[in-house]
Amino acid sequence: MNASLDHNHIRALTFDCYGTLIDWLTGVREGLAQVPSLAGCDLEQLVRDRDELDVQVVSHGYAPYSELLAESVRRAAERQGCYPLHSELERFAEGMGDWPAFEDSPSALARLATRFSLAILSNVEDRILARSVHKLGAHFETLVTAEQVRAYKPAHAHFHEALSRLGLDASQVVHVACSPWHDLKPALELGWATIWVRRDAAILPKHLRPNWIVSDLSEVAWTMGV
């Protein structure tokens, strides 16, 4: 970890949503388990392969993330000789907005909102994120999506847009996220303070050094002094 944060200087916290605030893996697993054409697939292998392929599908320029999510599932399923219907994959991807929040997210966000402005930087479409935000119950100063900036993290567009909307500079913001590649990497490249939420058994690359490492959102609130 780097040096501790100067809480008195911080004005806002920005968050990744899916995997950090919303339980991404549970949503993916439960959603895929309901796709009839995938009944013969090894579900855990499908989840791992889809995650690997996600990096590829978002690297070819902007398209709505629901389409890219469906495409990553299609490619992962084909590795196992399964061929889901397009309509099934559309329903799966659209269901992202209904995936559950982590139990600690709403209460921790409510605590953090008493002291800081909150924002979300997400790779999804506006309509999907709006449904997820409703589950979180907190007020967010701004929501920056890939649909708006026409780019995907780890590109820097979300981060530049967030600073512009918040009217702050990087020294006044902390980015909170679980993904080393999508979030910690670009935030650190831009000189932002970061909190890594280690939601699973992920291994942090040695070259990435967040200011703090925590296990859930309640620890983020404690770390930020609220």
What confidence tens digit (pLDDT) does each residue in 127-175 have? 999 999 999 999 999 999 999 999 999 999 999 999 999 999 999 999 9
Q: Considering the entire predicted model, what is its pTM? A: 0.93
Is residue 16 flagged as an active site residue? yes
Report whether pLDDT(82) > 70: yes
Q: Which residues contact 86 (CB under 8 A, 6 or more apart)?
A: 70
Do residues 43 and 33 make contact, with C-beta atoms less than 8 angstroms apart?
yes
| Rg over CA atoms, the chain | 17
Where are the chain's structural domains?
7-23+100-223, 24-98
pLDDT category at 223 given cuts 50, 70, 90 is very high
Q: Hey, how many other C-beta atoms are within 10 angstroms of the C-beta on 42? A: 13
Q: Which class is domain 7-23+100-223?
A: alpha beta
Greater model confidence, 8 or 193:
193
Q: What is the model's pLDDT at position 186? A: 97
pLDDT category at 5 given cuts 50, 70, 90 is low
What are the backbone dihedrals phi and psi of residue 145, each rounded to the nearest 5 degrees, phi first? Answer: -115, 160
Query: What is the rounded average pLDDT for all residues in the chain?
Result: 94
User: Which one from 6, 16, 49, 126 is the annotated catalytic residue?
Assistant: 16
Per CATH, the number for 24-98 is 1.10.150
What confidence tens digit (pLDDT) does each residue in 26-56 have? 999 999 999 999 998 999 999 999 999 988 8
Q: Hey, how many other C-beta atoms are within 10 angstroms of the C-beta on 57? A: 19
